[in-house]
Amino acid sequence: MPLTDVQWVLGHAHLSTTQLYTTAPDEDVIAAVVAHHARRQEQPAGQEGAGAAAGYRPESLNVLFGQRPL
């Protein structure tokens, strides 16, 4: 949904007011990423996309999941 539609639904006079709601706190983003990867780990073996996604740096995932500091 375009942000201008959200602005209209919420009755905001200025788009900048609506934009205040578009920035998620860091902890919410991290929780969503952790939940996403947990769901991927629960997929049956051999299913497309099971395990860590290709293209991610393993050291970044280790830091994200608290396995190893930077």
pTM value > 0.85:
no
Please state which of the ranges 22-26, 39-43, 62-66 shows the lowest mean pLDDT. 62-66
How many whole angstroms separate alpha carbon 13 and alpha carbon 42?
45
Q: Is the pLDDT of residue 48 over 60?
A: no
2-17, pLDDT tens digit by residue?
899 989 999 999 999 9
Question: Residue 30 to residues 8, 10, 24, 49, 53: CA-CA distances in angstroms?
Answer: 30, 27, 10, 20, 16
How many whole angstroms separate alpha carbon 51 and alpha carbon 46?
10
The confidence score (pLDDT) of residue 4 equals 92
Count of alpha carbons within 13 angstroms of residue 5, beta-carbon side = 2
How many whole angstroms separate alpha carbon 40 and alpha carbon 30?
15
